[in-house]
Chains A and B, each alone.
Chain A
C-alpha cells in the first residue's frame, strides 16, 4: 500500500497511457474508413489492442526509476519481501494505467460505434485483463531493468506473453457485440488474471534479485 502511493507520486506520466489510447483509437477510422458497420465489427479488437499497447508504453518506467536512483538495492535489503514490492509496483501500474484505460474504454467505444450490448462486457473484460497485463509487465520490466536499451527488448519479451490475455479479452467483447454468450472467455480471463497476479510477482522478484547481484 505504501509503495503504491509512492509509485503513483513518483511514477509520473499518469495521463500519457490514456492519451496514447485515445490517439490510437482516433487514428483507426482514418486508416480503415468511416463506415459504421466496419468500425462496429472491429471495435472490440481495436479497443483491446490499443489498451494493451498503452499499458505496454509505461512498463519500462516500472522499476527503472528505482534502479536509477538506487532505491532498488535499498528495497531489496529492507524488511519488505521483494515479491511484495513487485506486486505493489504492478498494482501501481494498474492504478495509473489499467484503471484509467478501463474507465475510458466505453467513451472511446462510442467513437468506434461499438454495439450497445458490448459496452458492459468490454469494460468487464478490460477490468479483469488489465491487472494481468500489469502483473506480466512487471515480470518483463524486472527482466530488463538493468539494460541500457531495455524498452524495445521489453516489448519483444512481453508482447508474446500478452497473447492469451488479448485473445480471451477481445473474444469476450466480440462475442457480446455479436449477441453471443460470453461467459466462457470472461471466466478464462479471470483465471488468467488471478494466476498472473499470484505467480508473476515471484518470477519478477527472482529476476530483480538476479539483476541486483
Chain B
C-alpha cells in the first residue's frame, strides 16, 4: 500500500536523510525512531508530498495519504462538532458516529475549539483522522500532550479501527504505543554531509 524506495530528504536545502526504504502492506504500521533533529518530520512531510524528495520514490495509491502534524488545524471559533464536520466535508464524507466514542469527545461536542485544553485539542486533531477516511496515515508525534488513558485509547483505535480495517500507518514517536509494529531507526540513514547529493546548496560547495 505504501512503498518508499531510496528516499533522500532535505531540510532547509541541506540533505538530512538518504536511502530510506520500506514497504507496508495493508494492516501494517511502522514506528520511526531516532534522536531529535534526525529528520522524522521532514521524512513524513516528504512522503505526504508537502516537499520534494531529493532522490527516491514514494508509491502509494492516489488519494490515500493523510498527514497529521504537531499542530491540529483546529479552528478556535468553531465547535468540536463543526470542526470535524468541516474536515469531513473537505474530504467529501460525513462524520461517522463511532468517532465520538473512539476519541472520547462526547461531552465536548458543542464546546468551542478555542476553549479546549491542549490534550483535548490533540484528541480532536486525532479524531480528524477517523473522519477523513484516508488509509495511509503519516503521524508526527500523535501522542503529544495526551494523558496515559488517551494514549491507550488512541492506540486502541489505531490498532482496531484503522490497521484492523486494512489501513497503514507511519508513526514518528518517542513513546511506546503498545502497537505490534516494527521499528525503523533512522540514525543509519543520516545523510553524509561529504557525499550527500541533491541539496540546494550543492552547486556552491
Contacts and interface: CB of A to CB of B under 8 A. Distances in A.
Given A2-B86, A79-B63, A213-B51, A9 B69 contact: no
A69 B91 contact: no
Given A213-B50, A213-B52, A79 B78 contact: no
Interface in B140-192: none
Q: How large is the interface on A (under 10, 10 to 19, 20 to 34, 35 or more residues)?
A: 20 to 34
Given A6-B86, A9-B78, A10-B75, A70 B50 contact: no
B90 A77 contact: no
A74 B69 contact: yes
A6 B85 CA distance: 11
Interface in A1-34: 2-3, 6, 9-10, 12
Interface in B76-121: 76-78, 82, 86-87, 89-92
B71 A2 contact: no
Given A77-B50, A78-B91, A79-B91, A70 B77 contact: no
A211 B45 CA distance: 13
B75 A74 contact: no
A76 interface: yes
Interface string A73-99: 111111110000000000000000000
A207 B73 CA distance: 20
B52 A69 contact: no
Most buried by B among A3, A71, A76, A79: A71
Contacts of A212: 50-51
Contacts of A3: 90
Contacts of A78: 87, 90-91, 132
Contact of A69 (B76, B86, B89): B76
A2 B89 contact: yes
A69 B49 contact: no
Given A212-B50, A213-B50, A75 B90 contact: yes
Interface residues of B, number: 30
Contacts, number: 65
B90 A79 contact: yes
Nearest to B65: A77
B72 interface: yes
Contacts of A9: 75, 77-78, 82
A77 B49 contact: yes
A16 to B, nearest CB: 15
Contacts of A73: 45, 48, 50, 67, 69
B50 A69 contact: no
Given A9-B78, A69-B74, A77 B86 contact: no
B15 to A, nearest CB: 15
Interface string A179-213: 00000000000000000000000000000000011
12 contacts: A2-B89, A9-B75, A9-B77, A69-B71, A70-B69, A71-B73, A73-B67, A74-B68, A77-B49, A77-B65, A79-B63, A79-B91
Interface of A: 2-3, 6, 9-10, 12, 65-66, 69-71, 73-80, 212-213
Interface of B: 45, 48-52, 63, 65-78, 82, 86-87, 89-92, 128, 132
Given A74-B67, A74-B128, 12 more contacts: A2-B89, A10-B76, A70-B69, A73-B45, A73-B50, A75-B90, A77-B50, A77-B65, A77-B66, A78-B87, A78-B132, A213-B50
